[in-house]
Structure 1
Amino acid sequence: MENQPSNKQNFTDTTTSPWKKRLASLSLILLGSGMTLAGGYIGNNHQQMSKKASDFAVSRVNAAPVLPANADPNFITQVVQKVGPAVVRIDSSRTVQSRVPDEFNDPFFRRFFGSEFPVTPRNRVERGTGSGFILDGDGRILTNAHVVDGTNTVKVTLKDGRSFQGKVLGKDELTDVAVIKIEAKNLPKVSIGNSDQLQAGQWAIAIGNPLGLDNTVTTGIISATGRSSNQVGVPDKRVEFIQTDAAINPGNSGGPLLNARGEVIGMNTAIIQRAQGLGFAIPINTAQRISNQLIATGKVQHPYLGIQMVGLTPELKQNINSDPNSGLTVTEDKGVLIVKVMPKSPAAKAGLRAGDIIQGINGSPVTDASSVQKAVENTQVGRNLSLQLRRNGQNIQVSVSPGAFPAQLQ
């Protein structure tokens, strides 16, 4: 059953019932991506330098897990000695113009305030420090997109003290990944691990420049994997994060998260303010996939369907069916409910409707919105996806060809 326009509007209104608020936070549309992640890029402009240390929300560091009896007690030192030379400091700056409000140009105000009244925009320079790590001996460096936001060149400092001017080859705001190139040869480089094989409880070692303190090492464990961007508090990103209790603070952004063998398994990127020992990293498999596209073309194409959705539960089903304004009757307890289809999107062109329940993609069952998003992200623009749906109690199959994520939504 296709909803009437008035019912659709009521269905997506998040101000009238609790389940609607829940739906609003689970959007695949990811509107806007200008948010700077909470933990990484420490600005050194005048206002930021005047902050107290407590403003940076430095979390209490959890104790590292006890080593097993047969482990080398110096293995962390060995990892740091191996990887440390390939971890760099990234200093960037950008000019920000302070706009004078239109009201300040009113002659009435200028007559009273005279020469003390601001009449022209003022420029100020914002400076920041982040981290990065060298991918190859020819000087390609991986870091966070927000570390290089607003600039095309940065200063890169190696552990041995050498400094280079770095050129930003490309950045992707949706995953917060950027690649920098410096002109140098025979550089130390990191070894890449496999983030798809991570399990909670494994060792995690972070190296970076938190709070401007160069070459800082912190340790902990992998607390969890597959944390959605909504759970982490950055719904505009397309990443399933690694969670760790290794201390990650402002300035760590872009630095490597390592396993016990010294392989990079993630790129440190975010902390949650007021959290106790919780940090997050972008899985290296995701970061490497994005960086390969940035190196090859300078940009990234993200597959896009154009739907808002939420995973069904018996409780959500009951809430929807008991809400007279929903315009829907849900008969399924499992699957992913399509809440809204964006006009002129690939989903709309394929005939998807609000109220459809996705139960499988390419023959594999799905039970939550993250599964659908991951399946879409792992395909390619223009490659068809086969969606198994329930619509009005009927099983149907729809083929949809993902488009490129619209630039205006990034």
Structure 2
Amino acid sequence: MQNQSRDGEHPSNSILSNTADTKYHNRAPWKKAAASLSLVLLGSGMTLAGGYMAGHSQQMSENASNLAVSRVNAAPPLAAGTDPNFVIQVVQKVGPAVVRIDSSRTVKTQIPDEFNDPLFQRFFGSQMPEQQSNRVERGTGSGFIISADGRILTNAHVVDGADTVTVTLKDGRSFKGKVLGKDDLTDVAVVKIQADNLPLVALGNSDKLQPGEWAIAIGNPLGLDNTVTTGIISATGRSSNQIGAPDKRVEYIQTDAAINPGNSGGPLLNYRGEVIAMNTAIIQGAQGLGFAIPINTAQRISSQLIATGKVEHPYLGIQMVGLTPQLKQNINSDPNSGLSVNEDKGVLVVKVVPNSPAAKAGIRAGDVIQKLGGQAVTDASSVQKVVENSQVGGDLRLELRRNGQNLNIAVQPGAFPTQPTQVQ
């Protein structure tokens, strides 16, 4: 199977929000996702207190006494010469700036029209359900303070659809929070509370991270406030496709520090106590497979949210897959593929969204992108990265092959549509 990515398409089968296991039956190999993993969002899904499991209605208990205790995600041994108290020092430094975020929303439920049938009313009488009822859905996550006047970073899914947001500090003080903005494509949100002289975190540089570095997580998993766990950076640059979240635009940091529902939005720290990432998801049924949003990404998105309340993501409007000789053979031998490929390397355009920037520039299904913005590209994630770092309305040059011919095309990335129906 090959990695397939949608630039500009909003998949209806979002693993992060709707379905845990996305199956692709009776589809050509180039239409299969590289990973169909079950992810658990670590914060409030507004359907469960303490977090929600994607695609399942499984309740996560907030009662620690109901949790099975097992020895997993144990901290690795200290390296020779390392201060044995460095974790304590980090916690004392950063802990007061880590907060709990409780959110709730009221959901109105309407009974089906069938219940208005006189036949139903005749047989069920007073047992008929009310025409409309309300229920309150609650969720809990984490966050960290980035300004002394009360700006807090967290995950978008922690506050998604919330009517009320309550922020509780480590010292016990609680404040009503206001969502300044959220970005679903990166799962970043900014919450503001009315307070001054608050403790705040120091931000690191996630671009310089290397696998094997120390990682410290602080958050509120499963209702256990101010929990600290340690591990290492297991990997960097994990694409959203690799972890089964094709509707996101993040290159995740992987860690084996123990994180659980309720940790979402909390900081992942280095040994100096600098925030290097924001914890966001784990893979269901696995151990030591946690994923966090790099702080450089979160900081870039939060700056736009603070300034304008929204984020503009550049997009082209293509569905694409990294090309290999084996994939070329599969496509050319499939009479139903509708494509014919002559190249062995590059990124194959599988589909072009109608009326998208790519369509307006003349890009076609079957084109093989070899360079984008002057950079050689070999897989879908590398194209996505170049596009994300471009400017809406700017010029982006593509070097591609079409029917054995070299073509140079200029395309102007547009702003990613906010409504899924606009890109289908």
2:354 equivalent in structure 1 = 343
CA distance in 2 between partners of 1:63 and 1:158 (Å): 27
Q: Is the 8 A contact 1:37 1:234 kept in 2?
A: no
Query: Which sits farther off after the overlay, 92-101 or 339-348?
Result: 92-101
Work out whether residues 104 and 119 of structure 1, in 8 Å CA contact, stay in contact via their aligned partners in 2.
no
**Contact 2:62 / 2:223 at 8 angstroms: preserved in 1?**
no
- 1:101 corresponds to: 112
> C-alpha distance in 2, partners of 1:303/1:373?
10
Are 1:215 and 2:226 an aligned pair? yes
Kept in 1: contact 2:30–2:321 (CA 8 A):
no
> Cα distance, 1:39 vs. partner?
2.4
Give 1:123's aligned residue. Answer: 134
**Separation in 2 of the partners of 1:292 and 1:395?**
40
For 2:336, the equivalent position in structure 1 comes to 325
**Number of the residue aligned with 1:224:** 235
Which residue number corresponds to residue 49 of structure 2? 44
Q: Could you tell me how far apart the structure 1 residues matched to 2:68 and 2:242 are?
A: 19
Shift of 1:57: 9.9
Distance in 2 (alpha carbons) for counterparts of 1:241 and 1:354: 29
Matched with 1:292 is 303
Task: For residue 18 of structure 1, report the CA deviation from its aligned partner.
Answer: 4.4
1:71 aligns with 2:82: yes
Q: Secondary structure of 2:307's partner?
A: helix
Gaps of 5+ in 1: 1-13, 27-34
- In structure 2, the residue matched to 1:384 is 395
Q: Which amino acid aligns with 2:42?
A: G
Residue correspondence of structure 1 range 7-406 to structure 2 within 5 A: 15-22=25-32, 38-41=41-44, 43-44=48-49, 48=59, 61-151=72-162, 153-406=164-417
In the superposition, relative to structure 1, how do residues 58 and 295 fare at CA in structure 2: closer, same or farther (>3 Å)?
A: farther
Which secondary structure does the structure 2 equivalent of 1:231 belong to? coil
Distance in 1 between residues matched to 2:66 and 2:238, nearest whole Å: 26
Post-superposition shift, 1:51? 8.7
Change (3 A) 1:158 1:52: closer
Preserved CA contact (<8 Å) 1:174 1:238 = yes
8 Å Cα contact 1:57/1:273 also seen in 2: no
1:25 and 1:230 in contact (8 A); partners too: yes
- 1:274 and 1:324 map into 2 onto residues whose CA distance is 39
Change (3 A) 1:273 1:87: same
> Matched residues in 1 for 2:304 and 2:40: separation?
22
Gaps of 5+ in 2: 1-23, 51-56
The code of the aligned residue for 2:31 comes to K
Q: CA 1:212 to 1:18, structure 2 compared with 1: closer, same or farther past 3 Å?
A: same
TM-score under structure 1 length normalisation: 0.89
Asked if the contact 1:58–1:249 (Cα under 8 Å) also holds between the matched residues in 2, the reply is no
Per-residue deviation, 1:59: 8.4
Kept in 1: contact 2:73–2:288 (CA 8 A): yes
8 A Cα contact 2:40 2:261, kept in partner = no
**2:190 is aligned with what amino acid?**
V
Match of 1:44, as an amino acid?
A
CA distance in 1, matches of 2:182, 2:277: 17
How far 1:233 moved relative to its partner?
Answer: 2.2
Amino acid at match of 1:403: G
- How many residue pairs match? The answer is 389
Instruction: Report the RMSD for the aligned CA atoms in angstroms.
Output: 2.5
Report the CA distance between 1:62 and its aligned residue: 2.1
Question: Contact 1:208–1:252 (CA<8 Å) still a contact in 2?
Answer: yes
What is the alpha-carbon distance in structure 1 between the residues aligned to residue 80 and residue 62 of structure 2? Answer: 44
